[in-house]
Amino acid sequence: MLIGSPPVELPEPPLSRGVLALRAWSESDVRGLVEGCSDPLTARYTSVPIPYTPEDARRFISFGRSQTTLPLAVVSGDDDTQVLGAVGLHAVSLTRRRSEIGYWTAPWARGQGVAQTALELLSSWALGPLGLERLDLYAEPENESSQRVATRAGYKRGALVRSGIALRGRRYDVVRFTLLA
């Protein structure tokens, strides 16, 4: 990690489509983060701390964005105080022109295309204006909903990566999905 490197730039103009918008996390999102990340499905399939406390949320809001990560809130375009989910880039390498991407949707906003739209918006920007050439996302084989989101957003299913992710001290197999510029 390069000390002093600037964080990954924010999309400008901000990304939006229809009733959904992506924006940087703000201090007013503590409650939305705690509620969204306390959901058992999100806790199971992502690396959020369990239990997820307001302090976890504050730390994430203050320090989540870096030279290798770009976390964004998915909100309603009509009322951008309402957190519907999250989408973000991880392990960004501007020199290797690649990144990983991940997402979750709050339980009350699922089944409406939130994750798919957020994934499509951030992917197009990352492979367009940001200048990346490859995006990978990793989904557990049993996480069929996430795999459908990835496929519908244009990602191609790749190899099963054995013990590909570590969540809370345990390793899990994952399927790699890739989108190229």
Ligand X SMILES: CC(C)(COP(=O)(O)OP(=O)(O)OC[C@H]1O[C@@H](n2cnc3c(N)ncnc32)[C@H](O)[C@@H]1OP(=O)(O)O)[C@@H](O)C(=O)NCCC(=O)NCCS
- Which residues, 6+ apart, have CB-to-CB distance to 14 below 8 Å? 21, 22, 23
Residue among 30 and 100 whose Cβ is closer to ligand X:
100
Told to check if 45 binds ligand X by CB under 6 A, we report yes
Among 50-58, 98-106, 120-128, 154-162, the segment contacting ligand X (CB under 6 A): 98-106
Q: Kindly tell me the burial class for residue 161, based on how many C-beta atoms sit within 10 Å of its own C-beta (0-12, 13-18, 19 or more).
A: middle
CB-based contact 37:54 (threshold 8 Å): no
Positions 53 through 82 that interact with ligand X (CB under 6 A) = none
List the x/- string, 141-180, binding to ligand X by CB under 6 A: --x-xx-xx-------------------------------
Nearest-approach distance from CB 36 to ligand X, in angstroms? 8
Residues 128-132: contacts with CB under 8 Å, at least 24 apart: 128/181, 129/11, 130/8, 130/9, 130/11, 130/94, 131/94, 131/97, 132/92, 132/94, 132/97, 132/98, 132/99, 132/181
Among 63-71, 97-105, 127-135, 159-167, the segment contacting ligand X (CB under 6 A): 97-105
CB atoms under 10 Å from CB of 26, counted, come to 14
Told to check if 97 binds ligand X by CB under 6 A, we report no
Told to check if 116 binds ligand X by CB under 6 A, we report yes
Query: Total residues contacting ligand X (rule CB under 6 A)?
Result: 21
Q: Kindly tell me the burial class for residue 10, based on how many C-beta atoms sit within 10 Å of its own C-beta (0-12, 13-18, 19 or more).
A: middle
Nearest-approach distance from CB 1 to ligand X, in angstroms? 24
Residue among 62 and 163 whose Cβ is closer to ligand X:
163
Contact positions vs ligand X (CB under 6 A) = 41-42, 45-46, 102-105, 110-116, 139, 143, 145-146, 148-149
